[in-house]
Amino acid sequence: MADQNFVDYVKICCRSGHGGPGSTHLLRNVMTAKGGPDGGDGGRGGHIILKGNAQLWTLIHLKYRKHVLAESGGSGSGSLSTGKSGDDVILEVPLGTIAKDAETGEFLFEIREDGEQRVIAKGGRGGLGNHNFKSSTLQTPRFAQPGEPGVEEWKILELKILADVGLVGFPNAGKSTLLASISAAKPKIADYAFTTLVPNLGFVKYRDNRSFIMADIPGIIEGAHTGKGLGVRFLRHIERNSALLFMVPADSNDVAKDYNILLNELKLYNPQLLDKQRILAITKSDLIDNELQTLIEKDLKIDIPHIFISAVSGKGLMELKDMLWKAMNS
All domains of the chain, ordered by start, with CATH? 1-159 (2.70.210.12), 165-328 (3.40.50.300)
Confirm whether pTM is higher than 0.75: no
Q: Say if CB 166 and CB 31 are below 8 A apart.
A: no
Residue 191: its pLDDT value, please? 46
Of 94, 153, 149, 103, the C-alpha closest to 126 is 149
Rounded mean pLDDT of 295-307?
A: 89
Residues 6+ apart with CB under 8 A from 37: 24, 25, 26, 27, 129, 130, 131, 133, 134, 140, 141, 142
Please tell me which residue, 228 or 289, carries the higher pLDDT value. 289
* pLDDT at residue 225 greater than cutoff 70: no
* pLDDT at residue 231 greater than cutoff 50: no
* pLDDT at residue 49 greater than cutoff 70: yes
Phi/psi of residue 154, each to 5°? -90, 130
Of 302, 310, 305, the C-alpha closest to 322 is 305
Burial class (CB in 10 A: 0-12, 13-18, 19+), 98: middle
- pLDDT tens readout for residues 103-115: 999 999 999 999 9
Please tell me which residue, 175 or 83, carries the higher pLDDT value. 83
